[in-house]
Every structure is written in C-alpha cells, then in structure tokens.
Structure 1
Amino acid sequence: MDADLAETLPARIHGVGTSQIGMVADRGRHDPEVIKLWIGEGDLPTPPFIVEAAHRAMLAGETRYTYSRGLPALHQALSDYHRRHWKVEVAPERFAITAGGMNAIMQTCQALLEPGDEVIIPAPGWPNLAEAVRVAGGVPVPVAYQQAEGGRFTLALQDILAAVTPQTRILVVNSPSNPTGWVMPLAEMEALRDAARERGLWILSDEVYNHFTYGNAIAPSFLQVTTPTDRLIVTNTFSKNWAMTGWRAGWVTYPEGLAATFSKLGQYNTTSIPTFIQHAAVAALEQGDAFIRTMVGRCVESRAILVEGLSRIRGVTVFPPEGAFYLMVWVDTGETSLDLAFRLLREAKVGVAPGTAFGPQGEGFLRICFAISPELAREAVARLARVLSKPV
C-alpha cells in the first residue's frame, strides 16, 4: 500500500535522491567506537557564550512568535559582520533569517524557479543543492570540476557558460566548495558576474565556508563585486563557524526590493525560527570571531595530519583543499565508493562519505571531514592506513 501511494506523488518528488551519507551514517551513528568523519560537522560543542545567550533570552520570555524575516537586531548584527570581514555595506533589510543554510537554499529556489528552469551546479557538489532544485520543480545541470596538476580541483568559467541554455535560470557557486575545497578567486567572480549580467541570469552563491581557507585571507564574497540590485542571492548558516549545526539558524542575503518576498517565504516555510535562537545568533556574530579562529586553527593542523598520513598509503591520492574542511581522497581498490565506505566503517571503525554522495562525478573518491582535533585526526589516519594497506 505504501509503495502504491508513493507512485501517486508528483514526479519532482520521485526524482529526489536518497542521501548516501545518511546510508553510511545510519549503520554506525550510535556506535561509540566509530570516528565519525562523514558529515559536515566539527567535534567542538557550541561555545558557552552562545548557549548562555539563548538561556537568558528564554528566561526573559523570548519564546514567542516574531518577525518572519527575523529580528531587527540580528539583521543589524549581520550587516556589521559583513562590514567587519569583507568591508562591504549590506543594508540590514537585505537579510532574512532561515532554518539553517538548507532552508536558505530552499527559499531561494522557491523564489526564483519556474517548473523546468535549469540550474547549473558544479559537480561533484553538496547533494542538497541539486535536490532542493528538484523539489522546487527545477532541473539541476552538473558542470564538472577539473583536476589540475598539484592535486587540486579547478572550475573553468568557460565550462560553466558552455552549459547555459535558454532554460537556464541560476548559476550556482559554492566557494569554498563542499566537497572539493575549490575557492573561486575574486577576478573570476567578477567575470562570472559580468556574464550573468549580460545573460540576465541569477547567481546563487553558497558561502558557508568563507572563513575556512588555508592561505593568508578568508575567501572572497560575491557581495564584494556586486551592487545591491544585481541578481545575486547569498546563502549562509551559523552551523559551521560557531558549531551550531543543531540550532538550525541561517540567513539569506538578497537584492534590494525582495524583503517582502522573503518575509512571505519565511512565513509560509517556518513562520520564523525560535526567537531565543536568534538572540544566540546575535551573540555568535558579535562575540564569536575568536572562536572562528580557533576552529580554523584546528582545521589547519588536522588537514596537514590527514594529507601527510593518507598520502603515504599506496593506491591513495589526496587532493589538498584550498578551503572548507573536507578532504577528497581517491582510493584505487576496485570497489565502488559506497562499498568502500561501508567496508571502512566495518573494518576501520571510521565513517567517511562516499564520493558518489556528491554525484556520479565523485565515483572513486571518499570525502573526509577534518573539522576535528589533531589527536582524532592521527587516530583516523592510523585506522585507515591499517585497512587500506591490506590487499582487498
């Protein structure tokens, strides 16, 4: 009966894929012996000053409905945050608060897509982007990263533009990228901006990992090279920078004139996220820069441990990321990446994400999250080396 009912659902829902990350995680989620590196989540708890801000807000009665677009104080804190880190002026009325980065992307798709509109997405890419497009009735169009000398990924502007058709509506950029670690240079952002303007296309820029870079500066933002009236939407989340994955708080930055649109979308998606969580988000923005530096510093060290250690294993090729906190690793065992992820879970007690979780372009790869302590990174390398060094 359940299968028959499922057949009656809309085609766009039938096309939504099952998360392979979830498939692996569900087999070891409650095993305390597993080192869990499959999901985009650090191992630090939410900082106490954020938790305490939420607690104070609850005790003060901040537990009722509020503006669907979010608290004005949070809009102002976001404006100040962007001025501080990217030297850009973004008016407070250009922000809407969402239930995490995923809801930010979903609301963007709801706002921009008509059925059949095409959305160009770099691949391999975070699967939720493509699935949000499908749920909204759009058509995801993958454009493959290239692998450059020196073991890194690149994305050519000409490859993006070659995929544009009369049905194209949105160009997606995720920089720093999940899972490849690619970072789009500012000059390429300017070139893509110009191409989008010429063609009347929207840019959806997912900038969740801006602070997680392994050079001398944070990653650039499209807000640095656009005007308030450009067809640009930037999505972001409190999850990564401030260890708030379970709080489900994010934001959208949209062009002038769309505040009423995103107010309505917020109303009919979630009404609003909890008021006390928004007060915690204000604390994160105003007091959390030092915590971000701590997170990035740990990632720098753990990244180096994993890159060096895994590079020594025969049959393993490591692609050191420029940004984000994931390592893409090519493993030549003859298995599918999903089968290998299951085997590493069983034999090494290490949970990793199969490359095909990010599209068919990820076959042969594993994605490993290194937002962990250096000690845990060393243990993960030792366990993986013991298993991958043995013949299959």
Structure 2
Amino acid sequence: MVDMMSALRPEARQAPESGIVEVVNFARERDDLIPLWVGEGDLPTPDFIRAAAEASLDKGETFYTYQRGIPALREALACYHHRHFGRDWGAERYFVTGSGMQAIQLAVQAIAGAGDEVIYPSPAWPNFPAAIGIMGARAIPVPLDFSPNGWTLDLDRLFAAVTPRTRAIYLNSPSNPTGWMADKETLAAILAEARRRGLWIVADEVYSRFVEGEATRAPSFMDVAEPDDLILYVNTFSKNWAMTGWRIGWLSAPPALGQVVENLIQYSTSGVAQFMQRGAVAALDEGEEFVALQRRRASAGRAIIEGRLAATGRIRYAPPQGAFYLFFGVEGFSDSRDLAKRIVGETGVGLAPGSAFGEAGEGFLRLCFARSAEHLEAAAERLAGWIAR
C-alpha cells in the first residue's frame, strides 16, 4: 500500500497545525464559553451591506465576473484610499481577493519560492509564515523586544537578518497579536533599506483603522512610498465592517503587475462572487459610521479587560497601540498552550496561546476585546478571579 503522507509535497506535509484551533477544539462545546480566542468581533455584518448583496442576488448577478474585481469596487477602493490615506493612485492598482489571506498568498506567490527567504517581526499571525513555508520559501522571524512600556522593533536586528536569499520584508502594523504599531519614521527607514537592497515589502495593514486616541488610522507605507515602489499592500473587509465570514479582501500593487496578479487570481479562485463585491462597495461607500462604532466598542472593551486584569498585579503586558488584542502573560506560568487550556477548562474563557504566534510569543496569551461590554465584563471577572487565586 502507498504511504499517502510520504507521497505528498514536504511543504504540504509540514504545514503547521494552528495552535489557536487546537485550544478552540479543546473547549468549543462548553455551554458557558466566552470565546475571545479568534480575531473577530461579535457584531453581525450590518444591514446596509447585506442589503447590497441581496439586491445583487435579486438581479441575478451570479455569473463569472471580472478577475481583478468589478469596476465599481476597484473604484470604491481607490476613493477609500484617497479619503483616508491621501493617495490618488487610481483604481487600476486594486485587486479584489477571496479574503485577506488570499491577498497574502498571492503576494507570496508573486515574490518568493523555493530557496528564498522573507523576514518578519515576531510574534506574528501564524498564517503568514505558514503561507511562506507552503510556497517552499523560509519565513525568518525577527523578535520584537518586550517591556511594560511597549513592544519595539530593533531595525538594526531586522536589517541584519537580510541575506542574499532574502526577497521581502513582511510588516503587519498595527500588529496581531501584540498591538505594536510602526511610526512613520520606522516605515520610512524600512522602505529606504528595502529600496537600497532591492527587496519587496508586504504591507499587512488589516488593522490600520483600529488605533488608540484621536487618529482615524495608523501610519502607513502609503505615507512615505511612491506608486512604483516594490510594495504589495494586503487588506480585508473582515475587521472594519464585520465581514469575517464573507472571505473578501484586496491587494494593492503597482499597476505594471496587473496582468500577473490577474493570472494568479485566474489560476486560484477565478475571481470573487459579484454579489459579495456589491456588499463590499456598500461597506466602503457607506460604512464610516459603522467603523467608528467598531472603534468605540474596541476601545471600551480594552478598558474593561486591561483595567480588571492589571489590577490583579499578576500580569505582564504592554498597552496595545493598535488592533484589538491584549497580549499578556500571567505571573508563574510559561507554557502558554497549557495555560490557555487550563484557563478555558476552569473558567470557560477562551484565549489564544502565545506560542501559536511564534517562539517570541511563548509565555503570553492573546485576548480579543472587540466584543460586547457584557461579555467582556463577565470574562474579566472570571479571569481576574482565577488569576488572583
């Protein structure tokens, strides 16, 4: 009998199991579960987005459509970036993808393969290094430095990780899971080094609208870049507009790459359903009030969780600058996988183990606070009581 596993490509066999899903599967059936382990809020997609998709279905828009995305959505993406990022780069540089994850996969397929390396700050969302590995390339983590004053990126360490095999730098800012956020000066320094060495940048700006304070967005490579810089921007409709289940995102790339990106879409999904794209147009054109609501809820949720857990005097964390996670450790515990299982088993509060985000995340837990105040108050009470005991 053929050994099916040995007959697979090594990259497929070695694709890592999600450390988050492992904990989810451990306790998903609990009746008293408060699930704070995944990166989504608890609001459903708003009515005005659903209505646009339903109207499209009613019109019979259920056929093959533009591989790059319908013109209305690409134009809406251009207008959105002009409003919020001040760059009038035109609709031709925006490509609609089947989720932010597919945008990352397309970016990786375009720039890295067997024998190549991509460097990235860690702790990091595990799907990115996994996508690199599946392509046969190597993902090289560069640890962020932790202190109670904040996570920091040592640029000298980042640049020292570049080798002749390095093809790109991946930067997720604001960061999942740490909440670290690159300032404009850091982005400019990374771009200058990438230009000098001829490296690509994959700019993951999924959480750009979730920032603390008065700013309406995080600093972006768009603040310092030129249209033809070697930068691929990946983003999603999931977070801002409560569309995680829709699986729709976008890739922004220099227009000269248009046919290449279209070809990669053609040979993967052949495009995104038109009715979903109509919903995405509504999100961009009509969704600012909802984004503001999401930001207010996340800020209030952070205050609830951070205040209660910090008061125990037994956690270590850095206040997040952006995104919607608290990344914290508990005094006396170093194995985050066992700790996450123990906490959910004894309290019903589901948290993601820091080890799922790389070696630099070990000893921490990730908690999503983009949830209702009621759920977060209950979770905070259970967690604070458990930690105090």
Same fold, TM exceeding 0.5?
A: yes
SS at match of 2:256: coil
Moved over 3 A (4+): none
Task: Tell me if the contact between 2:148 and 2:319 (Cα under 8 Å) persists in the aligned partners.
Answer: no
Report the 3-state secondary structure (helix = DSSP H, G, I; strand = E; otherwise coil) of the residue aligned with 2:202.
strand
- Deviations 1:162-218 (CA, angstroms, capped at 9, x unpaired): 100000001011000000101111111111111100000000000000010002211
Corresponding residue number in structure 2 for 1:273: 272
Q: What SS class does the counterpart of residue 292 from structure 1 fall into?
A: helix
Contact 1:213 1:322 in 2 (8 A): yes
| Kept in 1: contact 2:27–2:344 (CA 8 A) | yes
Aligned 8 A contact 1:332 1:364 in 2: no
Equivalent residues in 2 for 1:136-151, closer than 5 Å:
136-150=135-149
Q: Where do residues 7-22 of structure 1 align in structure 2 (5 Å cutoff)?
A: 7-22=6-21
Q: Deviation digits for residues 346-382 of structure 1, max 9, x if unmatched?
A: 1100000000000111111000000011221111110
Per the TM alignment, residue 335 of structure 1 is displaced from its structure 2 partner at its CA by 5.1
Match of 1:185 in 2: 183
Matches within 5 A, 1:67-78: 67-78=66-77
Name whichever of 222-231 and 24-33 sits farther off: 24-33
Aligned to 2:167: 169
Q: CA RMSD in A?
A: 1.2
Q: Is the CA contact (8 Å cut-off) linking 2:38 and 2:368 kept in structure 1? A: yes
Deviation, 1:149, is: 4.8
Instruction: Measure, in 1, the Cα distance between the counterparts of 2:333 and 2:357.
Output: 19
- Report what 1:325 is aligned to: 324
> Could you tell me which residue of structure 1 aligns to residue 94 of structure 2?
95
Native 8 Å contact 1:310 1:318 kept in 2: no
Larger mean CA deviation between 10-19 and 58-67 belongs to: 10-19
In the alignment, does 2:231 pair up with 1:232? Answer: yes
Unaligned regions of 5+ residues in structure 2, if any? none
Is 1:374 paired with 2:373?
yes
Give 1:12 deviation, angstroms: 1.7
Q: Distance in 2 between matches of 1:310 and 1:46?
A: 30
Deviation (angstroms), 1:78: 0.1
Which letter does structure 2 place at the counterpart of 1:296? R
1:289-308 alignment to 2 at 5 Å? 289-308=288-307
Which range moves more in the overlay, 329-338 or 51-60?
A: 329-338
- Where does residue 197 of structure 1 map in the other structure? 195
Q: How many residues align?
A: 388
Greater CA drift, 187-196 or 29-38: 29-38
- Deviation per CA, 1:136-165, whole angstroms, max 9, x where unpaired? 111000000012352x11112112101000
> Is the contact made by 2:148 and 2:318 (CA closer than 8 Å) also made in structure 1?
no
- Matching of residue 114 in structure 1 with residue 119 in structure 2: no
The aligned residue for residue 350 of structure 1 is 349
Amino acid across the alignment from 2:375: L
Q: Which runs of 5+ in 1 are unaligned?
A: none
More displaced stretch, 281-290 vs 381-390: 381-390
Aligned residue identity for 1:365:
F
Structure 1 residue 334: Cα displacement: 3.3
The amino acid of 2:104's aligned partner reads I
1:287 counterpart residue number: 286
Taking the aligned partners of 2:222 and 2:103, their CA distance within structure 1 comes to: 17
Amino acid aligned to 2:236: T
Structure 2 residue identity aligned to 1:270: T
Letter in 1 for 2:18: S
Contact kept in structure 1, 2:203 and 2:233, CA below 8 Å: yes
* Greater displacement, 283-292 / 379-388: 379-388
Partner residue, 2:208? 210
CA contact (8 A) 1:110 1:136 kept: yes
What CA distance in whole angstroms lies between the structure 1 residues aligned with 2:298 and 2:373?
8
Output aligned runs, 1:34-113, within 5 Å.
Answer: 34-113=33-112
- Give the conservation status (yes or no) of the 8 Å contact 1:94–1:253: yes
Q: Is the 8 A contact 2:308 2:380 kept in 1?
A: yes
Output the amino acid matched with 2:103: A
Identity of aligned residues (%): 45
